Structure 1
Amino acid sequence: FTNDDDVLLGDSVDLPCQNSLKVEWRRANSETLVHLYKDGKSQADEQHKDYHNRAYFLEKKTKDGNFSLRLKRLRAGDEGVYRCKVYRDQECVHSDDTELKL
């Protein structure tokens, strides 16, 4: 680590660490994007229009690594399998399917 400023014994320093975590929820059968988290925040503008203002993460929980999906105002068409994928540095490191039955 090199810094433009001199760092002396007894000083404090911030060491950089980029968060390359990306979490996406999709419909398993159609790959429709339900919700996306990247660059340290939810990306609601990238989700499919059917899920605007209905699908989101609880921001307090994402800080603890919990990316459970909250889906409001359920519709008959919401029934089915949802897939959560976690990426680190463009590589999928976790994938899990959850079936929603109404």
Structure 2
Amino acid sequence: MVTQMKIKEKEAYQEKVKAEVNKINAQIDELKAKANQAKADAALEYNSQIEELEAKQDAVNAKLQEVQQASEDAWQDLQNGFDSAWTELTTAFERASNKFQ
């Protein structure tokens, strides 16, 4: 019974974070499109911000993969690492997005 609850909790968490990751990935792609349309000097700034976002995006994807591969007992320990990486990514995205509006 407890194992079933842990499995369901892990699956619900994974679905939630996958949806969030997909959403931010689409938003980053939108920023990339804007960067491609920007003038040369603005494009450099866009690209710098995008490089930072992509590094944080890679970290989030790595943490998500760790959560997905973790045992039912261990995944909650990994949740804090994912949440931290996620916060860094979303904060960096908000900074970049605000900068270019």
- TM value normalised by structure 2: 0.29
Name whichever structure is richer in strand by fraction.
1
Q: Which has the higher contact order (CA 8 A, sep 6+)?
A: 2
Rg comparison, structure with higher value: 1
- TM value normalised by structure 1: 0.28
